[in-house]
């Protein structure tokens, strides 16, 4: 019996277990999935919990048992992965050692508040993060008690997973305070190490316009050095300070320690990965999917989905004795909630930044790219059902409805030249 070992039963690990259990003959292949958590979280729901919006009120609204979306034919082991001994093709865990023929790393990333002076202390006082379930629920309580003052969202460092989530948070905060009739008593700021709200010029310009309309201040180029919870101040390495009454922190995001300690990482825990085949550059017979890879595209569920399809194809090719295809183009696709039941939709890859256009059918849509519409918002609302029923199970439609490799049709690519981009 040949052995496929999948580390992580999050978005990427679960999806690949489903895709490959349908393609690999059960009599020849044993698929084992290992994860330390008994739960699978729908992480996009962390964004809505602090505001109790759109039916996201409590833990039950986003959590399912980890076994539920996994295929019956795969074995699940709940264990902490301690070491990947790739030279001997074995993985050491709290439930013993597992050897493998092929390995998939889908271990996600983690927040590391301990990396910033004073941030852990602040997170017990007047700072919270919605990047964990626990943090999102604490933020819910803090917002319920917040009646006036300065709400500051600070991104400590890049990269972070779902880089649009902080932007969505400040937009939803604006909407939430309007609903509570206290918007005029609250200032909202987005304090970021980036040069603007978003990195890509065309989308950045559009998002800044909406920030201005909603009276949300953007403080760019702020590399966080420390947090002083007692005086409610964040300080940058250049000495700039911003005072807050309530801090929403996105702490540094690091890759899994086990990837680094096993010699597969880039120095901050992300697995060093070939950007087009998605193979590990450090270990044989190993593919990488999702947030734990160091490829230069967003860390997002949509990216994890597109990558998983490529990993599945390439792994099957290699098992059949063929070369993997260098096919992954960095495709990423995200909704950006703006409050008042509207959202943007962006679609981009390694080379092409988000521009205006229609999606998925060129010239028809029905979704609009880089436009703030009701339909995009309802697309995001539908994503939860799509996630549990189609995405994790590996049953999303591919071309032409949801192409794995980004389609250029329906996109106003000349906007990139106008902004001097490429």
Ligand X SMILES: Cc1cc2nc3c(=O)[nH]c(=O)nc-3n(C[C@H](O)[C@H](O)[C@H](O)COP(=O)(O)OP(=O)(O)OC[C@H]3O[C@@H](n4cnc5c(N)ncnc54)[C@H](O)[C@@H]3O)c2cc1C
CA proximity to 308, closest of 14, 109, 4: 14
Q: How many Cβ atoms are within 10 Å of 395's Cβ, its own excluded?
A: 13
Q: Would you say 11 or 249 has its CB closer to ligand X? A: 11
Question: Least Å distance between CB 147 and ligand X?
Answer: 25
Please give the helix or strand (H or E) that residue 415 lies within, else none.
helix 414-418
Please give the helix or strand (H or E) that residue 151 lies within, else none.
strand 149-155
Q: Would you say 246 or 416 has its CB closer to ligand X? A: 246
Q: Would you say 9 or 246 has its CB closer to ligand X? A: 9
Question: Least Å distance between CB 122 and ligand X?
Answer: 19
Question: Least Å distance between CB 34 and ligand X?
Answer: 6
Q: Would you say 152 or 258 has its CB closer to ligand X? A: 258
Nearest 5°: phi and psi at 244? Answer: -140, 160
Q: Cα angle at 395 between 389 and 399, to 5 degrees?
A: 130
289: left (phi over 0), alpha (psi -120 to 50) or beta: beta
Question: How far is it, in rounded angstroms, from Cα 390 to Cα 58?
Answer: 23
Hey, what are 192's tokens? Answer: 């970021």
Residues that bind ligand X (CB under 6 A): 8-13, 34-37, 43-44, 46-47, 80-81, 106-108, 130-131, 161-162, 165, 256, 258, 290-292, 299-302, 304, 334
Question: How far is it, in rounded angstroms, from Cα 346 to Cα 332?
Answer: 8
Q: Would you say 192 or 302 has its CB closer to ligand X? A: 302
Q: Would you say 164 or 416 has its CB closer to ligand X? A: 164
Question: What is 187-206 written as a DSSP string?
Answer: EEEEE-SSSSSSSSHHHHHH
Question: Least Å distance between CB 45 and ligand X?
Answer: 8
Q: Would you say 43 or 376 has its CB closer to ligand X? A: 43
Hey, what are 320's tokens? Answer: 């059949």
Question: Least Å distance between CB 243 and ligand X?
Answer: 25
Q: What is the DSSP letter of 325?
A: P
Question: Least Å distance between CB 162 and ligand X?
Answer: 3
Question: How far is it, in rounded angstroms, from Cα 121 to Cα 402?
Answer: 44
Question: Least Å distance between CB 235 and ligand X?
Answer: 25
Question: Least Å distance between CB 399 and ligand X?
Answer: 19
Q: Would you say 3 or 412 has its CB closer to ligand X? A: 3
Strands 75-78 and 63-65: unpaired
Please identify the residue of the shown chain whose CB is closest to the bound ligand X.
10
């Amino acid at each position: 019996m040949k052995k496929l070992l999948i580390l992580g039963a999050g978005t990427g690990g679960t999806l690949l277990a489903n895709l490959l259990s349908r393609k690999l003959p059960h009599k020849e292949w044993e698929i084992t999935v290992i994860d330390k958590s008994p739960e699978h979280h729908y992480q996009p729901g962390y964004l809505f919990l602090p505001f109790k919006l759109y039916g996201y009120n409590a833990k039950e609204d986003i959590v399912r048992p980890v076994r539920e979306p996994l295929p019956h034919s795969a074995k699940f082991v709940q264990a902490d992965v301690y070491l990947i001994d790739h030279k001997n093709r074995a993985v050491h865990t709290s439930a013993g050692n597992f050897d493998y023929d092929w390995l998939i790393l889908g271990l996600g990333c983690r927040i590391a508040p301990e990396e910033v002076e004073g941030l852990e202390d602040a997170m017990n006082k007047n700072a919270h993060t919605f990047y964990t379930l626990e943090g999102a629920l604490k933020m819910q309580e803090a917002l319920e008690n917040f009646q006036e003052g300065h709400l500051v969202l600070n991104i400590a460092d890049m990269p972070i997973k779902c880089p649009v989530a902080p932007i969505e948070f400040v937009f939803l905060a604006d909407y939430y305070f309007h609903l509570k009739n206290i918007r005029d008593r609250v200032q909202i700021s987005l304090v970021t190490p980036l040069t603007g709200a978003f990195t890509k010029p065309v989308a950045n310009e559009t998002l800044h316009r909406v920030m201005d309309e909603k009276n949300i201040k953007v403080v760019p180029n702020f590399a966080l050095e420390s947090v002083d919870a007692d005086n409610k101040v964040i300080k940058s390495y250049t000495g700039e300070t911003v005072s807050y009454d309530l801090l929403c922190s996105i702490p540094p995001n690091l890759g899994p320690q086990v990837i680094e300690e096993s010699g597969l990482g880039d120095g901050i825990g992300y697995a060093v990965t070939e950007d087009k085949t998605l193979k590990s550059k450090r270990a044989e017979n190993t593919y990488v999917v999702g947030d734990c890879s160091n490829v230069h595209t967003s860390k997002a569920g949509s990216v994890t989905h597109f990558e998983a399809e490529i990993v599945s194809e390439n792994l099957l090719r290699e098992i059949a004795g063929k070369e993997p295809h260098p096919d992954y183009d960095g495709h990423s696709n995200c909704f950006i909630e703006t409050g008042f039941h509207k959202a943007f939709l962006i679609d981009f890859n390694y080379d092409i930044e988000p521009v205006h256009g229609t999606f998925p059918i060129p010239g028809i849509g029905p979704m609009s790219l880089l436009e703030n519409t009701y339909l995009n918002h309802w697309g995001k609302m539908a994503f939860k059902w799509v996630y549990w029923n189609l995405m994790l199970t590996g049953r999303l439609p591919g071309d032409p409805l949801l192409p794995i490799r980004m389609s250029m049709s329906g996109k106003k690519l000349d906007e990139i030249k106008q902004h001097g981009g490429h």
